């Protein structure tokens, strides 16, 4: 299994749990192979071929022309960060269970331990672009 050398991960920058989880992922990404972007940034969802609503519902990860969502996105991003195929190998064997756990976590993320959300810490990264017609 060939692991992509880079990828784009779109996350909810208004979610404290998501921001905390992103911090863990960035620690694993020692070679800075991942571009991590808050969905609230201008044009960010379009970078992964998604809508803001779809990105609010689940992580989106794009690499090598493929977009993964939910638990598949987590495993894809981990594979790139670690440069190891194990996360995707494991996902292929446990996808149904991982997706159920991911969906539960996504529904309850506001109740899980987090930190100051990305968009509060870095408001410029989440600022909408000005409408040139105004």
**For residue range 67-124, what is the model confidence (pLDDT) as tens digits?**
999 999 999 999 999 999 999 999 999 999 999 999 999 999 999 999 999 999 999 9
> Which domain does 33 fall in, by range?
7-116
Within-domain flag for 106: yes
Round to whole Å and give the CA distance between 134 and 92. 49
Dump pLDDT digits (tens) for 61-76: 999 999 999 999 999 9
Within-domain flag for 71: yes
Q: What is the pTM of this model?
A: 0.91
Residue position matching structure tokens 């409408």 = 131
Residue position matching structure tokens 């020692």 = 30
The whole-number pLDDT of residue 131 equals 44
Q: What number of residues does the chain have?
A: 134
Within-domain flag for 125: no
Give the chain's domain count.
1
Within-domain flag for 99: yes
Dump pLDDT digits (tens) for 11-36: 999 999 999 999 999 999 999 999 99
Do the Cβ atoms of 6 and 33 come closer than 8 Å?
A: yes
Within-domain flag for 124: no
Within-domain flag for 95: yes
Within-domain flag for 102: yes
Within-domain flag for 134: no
């Amino acid at each position: 299994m060939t692991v992509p050398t880079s990828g784009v991960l779109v996350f909810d920058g208004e979610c404290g749990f998501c921001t905390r989880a992103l911090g863990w992922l960035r620690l694993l990404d020692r070679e800075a192979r991942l571009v991590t972007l808050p969905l609230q940034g201008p044009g960010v969802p379009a970078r992964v071929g998604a809508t803001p609503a779809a990105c609010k519902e689940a992580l989106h990860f794009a690499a090598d022309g493929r977009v993964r969502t939910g638990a598949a996105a987590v495993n894809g991003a981990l594979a790139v960060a670690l440069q190891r195929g194990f996360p995707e190998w494991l996902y292929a064997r446990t996808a149904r269970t991982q997706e159920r756990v991911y969906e539960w976590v996504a529904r309850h993320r506001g109740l899980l331990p987090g930190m100051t959300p990305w968009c509060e810490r870095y408001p410029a990264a989440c600022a909408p672009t000005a409408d040139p017609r105004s």
